[in-house]
Amino acid sequence: MTDTETSTRPIGMVMPVDRDSRGYDVTASGTLRTSHPKGLKALRLCSILEATTLVVLLFVAVPLKHLVHLSVAVTIMGPLHGLAFLAYVWAVFDTTSNMRWKAHEIARLVLAGFVPFAGFSTGRYLDKVRPTFAGRNAG
Amino acid sequence: MIYPIIKALHLVFVVLFAGGLLAGAWQLASAPSTSAGTLRNRRQWHRRVTTVAMFGAWSFGLMLAEVGHWFPAPWLIIKLALVLALSALHGVLSGRLRRIEASPATSDDTAFPWAGMVILLVAGIVFLAVLKMPAT
């Protein structure tokens, strides 16, 4: 597969690829094509963690603080969410760096960290933009 | 008593993290003339020491902010933005180091001033943390 073919591939279209002994998908010429499955798994996990802590912070901890003046939940969830958010942003760049991801794909992943519930759909989004890994990570 | 202990642990991890980032930047620049075994050893250091140090620096830094009641000081918010940028830079370096180790011929990072970016971000973070400038 050439660069041109990769850049014009419609989202959701599954392209046949080979996987080398290290677990990378490679092109016919032997160069790396996209991110390592372990990196994508870590990114999925971080996105779920980040989305969960953001939802708990915004919809449980903050209301508790302002409605019943119970600030302990924000004291706990604030730093926890901060940690999860940093881990998520780090995972996005660790997974996508120099792996032929498009700028708008990376931007969508980063922005998902700011929007409540958006992180829960990141797994489906990864399946769309990197369909070659769907169902193949178990091995 | 707990505050200085958390601060000391935070600083230990920050020093390891910043040092590891500089080493990673140097590793990218020197990759074309480096053997595969050396590349693998250096990336293991990056993964096992620098990445762990980054998580340690975050954890103890957030504890410091909470115990010291620094939220939501403006200097801390700016510092967090710089820390986020530094963490993203670490992610970029990790990805590129992994790619170079897997496929050394693909190195195209020798000209980019990664080390300069690391130094600028670390300098900004240190100045903000030491001066703790109040809002005017």
Is residue B24 within 8 A of residue B95, CB to CB? The reply is no
Residue A92 lies in a domain: yes
In chain A, the number of structural domains is 2
pLDDT (tens digit, 9 = 90+) per residue, B45-61? 888 999 999 999 999 99
Distance CA B53, CA B14 (A): 7
Contact B135, B72 (CB under 8 A): no
> What's the whole-model pTM score?
0.77
Per-residue pLDDT of A78-99, as tens digits, reads 999 999 999 999 999 988 886 6
Confidence of residue A138 (pLDDT cuts 50, 70, 90): very low
SS3 call for A25: strand
- My answer on whether A19 and A76 are in the same domain is no
pLDDT at res. A36: 65
Would you place residue A133 in the very low, low, confident or very high pLDDT band (cuts 50, 70, 90)?
very low
- What pLDDT is attached to residue B99? 77
Name the residue range of residue A11's domain. Answer: 1-34
- Residues A67, A78: one domain? yes
pLDDT at A18: 56
The answer on A80 and A19 residing in a single domain is: no
Chain B: give the shortest CA distance to residue A95, in Å. Answer: 6
Residues of chain B neighbouring A83 (CB-CB closer than 8 A): 58-59, 62
Nearest to B63 among A79, A93, A98 (CB): A79
CB contact under 8 A, B94 and A96: no
**ipTM value greater than 0.85:** no
